[in-house]
Amino acid sequence: MSQVICNSFKVEVFRAIHDFTTGTGDTFKIALYTAASAIGASTTAYSTTNEAVGTGYTAGGAALASVTPTLSGITAIVDFADVTISAVTLTYRKALIYNSTKANRAVAVFDFGSDRVISGGNLVIQMPTPDASSAILRAS
């Protein structure tokens, strides 16, 4: 799997555009995309172009429950709760985390390296361990 932080997000962090605070912060979502999608480091916002389509999956993806940023050693980390999308049938390869509160601005892109197929089951998006070496978003 490859992961990139979107270039626009790197600048927006210093402009204090995004608020990851639990309960009072912005709404972040994760959207799924097909292999045909060109999302990557240069992606600046969520788009429906080549977004995965299937039963049980809603365009725009699923909301993420943010966990207030903390430090792990000297690394700032952001964590999200795991997400379950029930009774899904679709094929996807990539994912985009974006800020739906702030003009759908892109945060990070993930490419799973091959198509993932789910047929009538629960899709569980499991976030990595929230520590300095594994957190979904981190800055050191």
Instruction: Give per-residue pLDDT as tens, 106-124.
Output: 999 999 999 999 999 999 9
pLDDT score recorded for residue 66? 83
Give residue-wise pLDDT tens across range 74-109. Answer: 999 999 999 999 999 999 999 999 999 999 999 999
Does the pLDDT of residue 1 top 80, yes or no? no
Give residue-wise pLDDT tens across range 39-82. Answer: 999 999 999 999 999 999 999 999 999 888 999 999 999 999 99
pLDDT score recorded for residue 28? 97
Q: Is 140 among the domain residues?
A: no
Q: Is 138 among the domain residues?
A: no
Q: Is 43 among the domain residues?
A: yes
- Domain that residue 92 falls in: 2-128
Q: Is 13 among the domain residues?
A: yes
pLDDT score recorded for residue 60? 98
Tell me the pTM. 0.95
Is residue 134 within 8 Å of 77, Cβ to Cβ?
no
Q: Is 137 among the domain residues?
A: no
Q: Is 95 among the domain residues?
A: yes
pLDDT score recorded for residue 23? 87
pLDDT score recorded for residue 94? 98
Token output for 131: 């520590």
Count of domains for the chain: 1
Token output for 62: 């699923």
The burial class, CB within 10 Å (0-12 / 13-18 / 19+), for 75 is middle
Question: In sequence order, what are the residues at sequence separation of 6 or more whose Cβ sits closer than 8 angstroms to the Cβ of residue 18?
Answer: 9, 12, 26, 99, 102, 105, 107
Instruction: Kindly tell me the sign of the dihedral angle through the C-alpha atoms of 113, 33, 90, 134.
Output: positive
Q: Is 8 among the domain residues?
A: yes
Q: Is 50 among the domain residues?
A: yes
